[in-house]
Structure 1
Amino acid sequence: MTNVIEVENLRKEFNAYSSRTGLKGAFRDLFTRNYKVVPAVNDINFSVKKGEMVGYIGENGAGKSTTIKMLTGILTPTSGQVTVNGMNPHKEREKFVQTIGVVFGQRSQLWWDIAVQESFRLLKKVYKVSDEHYNDHMKHVIKTLDIEPLLDKPVRKLSLGQRMRCELAAALIHNPPLLFLDEPTIGLDVLVKLKIREFLKEINEKFQTTILLTTHDLSDIEALCERVVMLDEGKIIYDGALKNLKEQWGEGKALQFQFLESVDLLAIRKLTVGMPVKWEMDEKNTEFTAILEDNDELISQVIAKTVAAFKIKDIKINETSTEEIIRNIYEKGTV
């Protein structure tokens, strides 16, 4: 199977300005500034095969968006090689953009003050899509994403969920073989997320569309991607199957407790002092979770101690979530 994306020793550096302290320092900064070179992406290597759906994940500032911008030709790399759809995104830009679709969750490619369908028609002209292809392909896209009632509305009057569905449709007008999605479900409700996920699965199966997805919503990754590439401080710290990541790091269990009365986190932690248990509390202070090894005896002891000390409303035993696994990896700094 051919590689749609090939990245070799890719690096992007930025000059970061650092100000001097004090009034004297501020005065000196007016004439001479101190700069230091900061690598946002640090000599990374990876490839993506045709038809793959890959999750590209990392904390804020890890270099995800910078990578996407280099892969789409928006930024020029400081060094290294990038080949996407057999082309250099920066040197063959006009030809290259005909072969990709891009959705940035926080930026719009639709015209703000005109109707959605007018934006679609303009993009149809930009991508030189024939009437026959547009009518055949977009009829299905519009129906699947349920945006037909929105076509006559100006973009500025759409809700976030409505706009993101239209943004996704706009990125697919020319039915590109490669789709970049940068936080496509940010701020969306559950029903809209499910609709977008189902649609992405469908186009992947029907057209073998390759998808590179960056998101902080790990439920998107679990629902769509079998493979993840994990970035930390500009370097790839994991590239492989999500299943293997779970098997390697997700051996623990999470015991979720809901109590009938108010419970203090410190009090519940005292119950398991000396035991390999990590307690967490949700934002509403109503649910407490014990993270521990997948050990039947240890699990029984924790449950017994907790039930003996507090009145229990509900208890669930879950495998460690992907979010917890990834948080542990970032805390330890390696895989």
Structure 2
Amino acid sequence: MENVIEVKQLRKEFKAYSSRTGLKGAFRDLLTRNYKVVPAVNDINFSIRKGEMVGYIGENGAGKSTTIKMLTGILTPTSGEVIVNGMNPHKERERFVQTIGVVFGQRSQLWWDIAVQESFRLLKKVYKVTDEQYDSHMNHVIKTLDIEPLLDKPVRKLSLGQRMRCELAAALIHNPPLLFLDEPTIGLDVLVKLKIREFLKEINEKYNTTILLTTHDLSDIEALCERVVMLDEGKVIYDGALMELKEKWGDRKELQFQFLENINLTAIQKLTYSLPVEWELDEKKQIFTAAVEDSEELISQVIGKVVAAFKVKDVKINETSTEEIIRNIYEKGAIEVG
């Protein structure tokens, strides 16, 4: 299967300026500035095949948005090679932008003071989309994203959830084979998120659209992506299947207990002091959570001790969440690239 994105030894450096102290330092700054070169993206390599939905994840400042900006031609790399849809995004920008769709969660491509449908008409002309192509494709997009009642409203009168659905539709006017999504569900409520996720799955299946998704909401990644590329301090520290990441690092389980009587955290900690278990209490919901290794014998011992000592209302055994796994990875340091 062909690669839609090829990244080799990609690097982007920025100059970080610092000011000298005092009046004398200010005058010296007028003549020469102190700076150091900071690599935001540090010699990374990866490729994405046609039709893949890939999660690009990392903490704030890891280099995710900088990478996306280089892949879309907004930023020029300091060094390395980027080929997207068979083109150099920066050097062949005019032809290249016809083949991608981009949604930045914190920036708008819609005109603030005019109706949504007028923005769509302008973008239709920009991308040279024929009436037939627009009608056959966009009628489906508008219906699926449920934005028909919003088309005659100015963008400034839309809620965040309404605007993001319109932003997504705008990015798909020319039905691009590759879609970049940078925090597309930021600040959205659960129902809007679900609608956007279902729509993304549908266009991926219907048109084999390749999707690169960066987000802090790991439930988006779990719902949409089988593969993740993880970035830390500008370097790729994991590139592989989400399931493998869970199997390798999800070596713990959470046991959640609710009781029929009032129990304090100290009492339950004393009860299991001889076992390798960490307890937490959600005081609002009165849920006691035990984090243990994924061992049937240990899980059985913990449940046995608790049930024998207290009246249990409910008990659940949960896999470690993806969020918890990724937090553990960052806390324990870089891992081998998968």
Quick one: distance in 1 between partners of 2:126 and 2:269?
Answer: 61
Is 1:37 matched up with 2:76? no
Give a deviation string over 1:3-32, Cα, whole Å, max 9, x none.
000000000111112344577656654554
> Residues 204-283 of structure 1 correspond to what in structure 2 (within 5 A)?
204-259=204-259, 268-269=268-269, 271-273=271-273, 275-282=275-282
Quick one: distance in 2 between partners of 1:147 and 1:249?
Answer: 41
Quick one: distance in 2 between partners of 1:271 and 1:330?
Answer: 32
Give a deviation string over 1:97-151, Cα, whole Å, max 9, x none.
0000000111110111111000000100111100110011100000000000000
Quick one: distance in 2 between partners of 1:273 and 1:281?
Answer: 16
Code of the residue aligned with 2:10 in structure 1: it is: L
Q: Is the alpha carbon distance of 1:87 and 1:156 closer, same or farther for their aligned partners in structure 2, counting shifts above 3 Å?
A: same
Q: Secondary structure at the match of 2:221?
A: helix
* Offset of residue 284 of structure 1: 4.6
Is 1:84 matched up with 2:73? no
Code of the residue aligned with 2:182 in structure 1: it is: D
Q: What is the match of residue 119 of structure 1?
A: 119
Q: Is the alpha carbon distance of 1:23 and 1:204 closer, same or farther for their aligned partners in structure 2, counting shifts above 3 Å?
A: same
Code of the residue aligned with 2:61 in structure 1: it is: G
* Offset of residue 303 of structure 1: 2.8
Is 1:197 matched up with 2:203? no
Quick one: distance in 2 between partners of 1:210 and 1:289?
Answer: 39
* Offset of residue 228 of structure 1: 0.6
> Residues 4-19 of structure 1 correspond to what in structure 2 (within 5 A)?
4-19=4-19
Quick one: distance in 2 between partners of 1:52 and 1:9?
Answer: 22
Deviates most, 132-141 or 272-281: 272-281
Q: Secondary structure at the match of 2:12?
A: strand
Computed over aligned residues only, the root mean square deviation of the Cα atoms, in angstroms, reads: 2.2
Q: Is the alpha carbon distance of 1:282 and 1:237 closer, same or farther for their aligned partners in structure 2, counting shifts above 3 Å?
A: farther
Is 1:161 matched up with 2:161? yes
* Offset of residue 194 of structure 1: 1.0
* Offset of residue 333 of structure 1: 1.2
Q: Secondary structure at the match of 1:61?
A: coil
Q: Secondary structure at the match of 1:91?
A: coil
Q: What is the match of residue 319 of structure 1?
A: 319
Quick one: distance in 1 between partners of 2:27 and 2:266?
Answer: 50
* Offset of residue 297 of structure 1: 2.3
Q: What is the match of residue 103 of structure 2?
A: 103
Structure 1 alignment gaps of length 5 or more: none
Q: Secondary structure at the match of 2:251?
A: coil
Q: Secondary structure at the match of 2:205?
A: helix
Is 1:63 matched up with 2:50? no
Q: Is the alpha carbon distance of 1:260 and 1:191 closer, same or farther for their aligned partners in structure 2, counting shifts above 3 Å?
A: same
TM-score after normalising by structure 2: 0.92
* Offset of residue 159 of structure 1: 0.8
* Offset of residue 84 of structure 1: 0.2
Q: What is the match of residue 142 of structure 1?
A: 142
* Offset of residue 323 of structure 1: 1.1
Deviates most, 4-13 or 277-286: 277-286
Quick one: distance in 2 between partners of 1:75 and 1:269?
Answer: 53
Structure 2 alignment gaps of length 5 or more: none
Deviates most, 205-214 or 303-312: 303-312
Aligned-residue identity in percent: 86
Q: Is the alpha carbon distance of 1:283 and 1:237 closer, same or farther for their aligned partners in structure 2, counting shifts above 3 Å?
A: farther
Q: Secondary structure at the match of 2:102?
A: strand
Deviates most, 74-83 or 316-325: 316-325
Code of the residue aligned with 1:327 in structure 2: it is: R
Deviates most, 53-62 or 314-323: 314-323
Q: Secondary structure at the match of 2:220?
A: helix
Quick one: distance in 2 between partners of 1:125 and 1:114?
Answer: 16
Give a deviation string over 1:158-196, Cα, whole Å, max 9, x none.
111111100000000000000000111111111111111
Quick one: distance in 2 between partners of 1:38 and 1:272?
Answer: 48
Code of the residue aligned with 1:325 in structure 2: it is: I
Q: Is the alpha carbon distance of 1:89 and 1:269 closer, same or farther for their aligned partners in structure 2, counting shifts above 3 Å?
A: farther
Q: Number of residue pairs matched?
A: 335
Quick one: distance in 1 between partners of 2:307 and 2:203?
Answer: 49
Quick one: distance in 2 between partners of 1:44 and 1:296?
Answer: 40
